[in-house]
Amino acid sequence: MIAAGASAGVASAFGAPIGGALFSYEISKPNTFWTFSMLWRVFAATCISTFLLGIITSLWTGATFSLEDTGALKFGKLADEESSLLDLPAAVIIGIVCALLGSFFIFVNINLAILRKKYITQNWQKILEAVMFAFLSTSIFFGAVLLRNSDCVPN
């Protein structure tokens, strides 16, 4: 059920039923519960969610129903412009920065896992850690919205 729900969400967000089913299959690949019949059920769920999103969107906007206009995430229209060699240094710099950030994330994650294994041994400590992490992350995200002080404030 969780696999079908996650697949349906991804499929309706991007308007890609096959992609949603393959996403869920790929994410849960180490598990052995996947059967061929379950893959078909998940694919049916993704097709139904994408189709219903298209119907609901067309009813909401008043437009005629079209299978070409599915997916909740619209990235806008991109102009067809060719890249030039002047774009290459920016791409290299972005690649280097992302590689450094990724290696830093892995370094921090490995060290935190070692500390967790050493100091967090009781079940109540694991639960407390999860609750504290959830509270801290939601507080930071909520505070970031409040600090922005824009259209998020009710009239």
With respect to residue 144, please indicate whether it lies within any of the assigned structural domains: yes
Shared-domain flag, residues 100 and 140: yes
What pLDDT sits at residue 14? 85
Contact 59, 45 (CB under 8 A): no
What pLDDT sits at residue 95? 96
Shared-domain flag, residues 96 and 57: no
- Residues in the chain, overall count: 155
Domain that holds residue 99: 87-148
**Domain count along the chain:** 2
Distance in angstroms (rounded) separating the CA atoms of residues 46 and 52: 10
Residue 51 has pLDDT above 80, yes or no: yes
With respect to residue 141, please indicate whether it lies within any of the assigned structural domains: yes
With respect to residue 119, please indicate whether it lies within any of the assigned structural domains: yes
What pLDDT sits at residue 146? 80
What pLDDT sits at residue 140? 92
What pLDDT sits at residue 54? 80
| 16-20, 38-42, 61-65, 136-140 — most confident range | 136-140
Shared-domain flag, residues 56 and 100: no
Tens of pLDDT along 69-116? 656 666 556 667 787 888 899 999 999 999 999 999 999 999 999 999
Amino acid at 69: D
With respect to residue 68, please indicate whether it lies within any of the assigned structural domains: no
With respect to residue 72, please indicate whether it lies within any of the assigned structural domains: no
Residue 65 has pLDDT above 80, yes or no: no
With respect to residue 67, please indicate whether it lies within any of the assigned structural domains: no
With respect to residue 46, please indicate whether it lies within any of the assigned structural domains: yes
Shared-domain flag, residues 47 and 97: no
Tens of pLDDT along 13-42? 888 888 888 888 888 776 667 787 888 888
Shared-domain flag, residues 100 and 55: no
With respect to residue 114, please indicate whether it lies within any of the assigned structural domains: yes
Contact 10, 19 (CB under 8 A): yes
